[in-house]
Amino acid sequence: MQPRVSPAGAVAPAAMPSPPLRVFWAPGCSSCLRTKEFLARHGIPFESVNVAAQPGAMEELQRLGARSVPVLAIGSRYVYCQSLTDIKTFLELDIADDERLPPAELARRVNVVIRKALGFVEQMPDDVLDGPFRNSWAPPRGLAHHVFRVVEAFLEALEERCELTYEMTMRGTHEVMPGQNVSAYGEAVLQRFNRWWAAHGDTGFEAIQPTYWGAQSLHEVFERTTWHAAQHARQLMVVIDAQGDMVNDPLTPDDLAGLPLPEKAWDDDK
């Protein structure tokens, strides 16, 4: 696929390639939503494959060799979509990357996101925290756990000097039980994060960190950790808003500025 690129770097609309570009995605997945928004914004046509709804889609994804979403595929070639840079490389797009927030600012944002997510949990009654919500892959209590788990998995990968795997980022989230005290877990993760930052600070972020979507700079993995947690915290605000309540101390545009987030907080596609 050779998309046309304007002098300003915007991709002009193109015909569907043959074989077609497919996006394997699942509802509630933050990177899935961001990937589809990115392609739509740049006029790149794609075939949408919802692995949670389309029979045989997950098996097809596994035959490619991938074990999580989102994935872009053209024929038998595919790429994980946790990094917009990797998407641009796969599609041969001449679009510059946005500048990343410095590590110290990302560390501050992690504190903001976790603190506010803890407040969102406290604002929801148990029947809301443990009930179904839209097309979510987890109840709101599980989404809250995942906000905290994303940060803890990042710390574990660094402290254990190992690959950051998909399984690490999901550990415990699907096992959250009704009534479980995820707030205590979130507080513990925040304390652990701040101990790590105090010990290591703003150093070593050009190092390469192995991840399940490939070798990445530690700076990029830290950025992804921050925006990934923030996106799921945004989803908790959607849950509160859907109950007709005003969100106490919401995430503000300033809290989210400079993070490569999806435009929407929630993906209602089927």
Exposed e or buried b per residue across 62-71, where buried means at least 16 C-beta atoms within 10 angstroms of its C-beta = eeeebebbbb
How far is the C-alpha of 176 from the C-alpha of 198, rounded, in Å?
Answer: 30
Low-confidence ranges of the chain (pLDDT < 70): 1-18, 270
pLDDT reported for residue 270: 62
Which helix H or strand E contains 22, and what residues bound it? Answer: strand 21-25
Q: 138, 28 in Cβ contact below 8 A?
A: yes
- pLDDT at residue 17, rounded to an integer: 58
Strands 21-25 and 47-50: parallel
Q: Which helix (H) or strand (E) holds 84?
A: helix 84-91
For residues 247 and 223, give the distance between their C-alpha atoms in angstroms, rounded to a whole number.
25
Q: Which two tokens stand for residue 260?
A: 């490569």
In this structure, are strands 21-25 and 71-74 parallel, antiparallel, or unpaired? Answer: antiparallel
Strand partners, 164: 211
- Structural domains of the chain ordered from first start: 21-91 (3.40.30.10), 103-256 (1.20.120.450)
CB 31 within 8 A of CB 82: yes
Residue 43: what pLDDT? Answer: 94
Which 8-state DSSP code applies to residue 12? P
The pTM (predicted TM-score) of the whole model is 0.90
User: In this structure, are residues 123 and 245 in contact, taking their beta carbons and an 8 Å threshold?
Assistant: yes
Of 249, 197, 252, the closest CA to residue 230 belongs to: 252
Cis peptide, bond prior to residue 19, ω within 30 of zero: yes
Residue 268 has a pLDDT of: 79
3-state secondary structure of 214: strand
Q: Which helix (H) or strand (E) holds 48?
A: strand 47-50
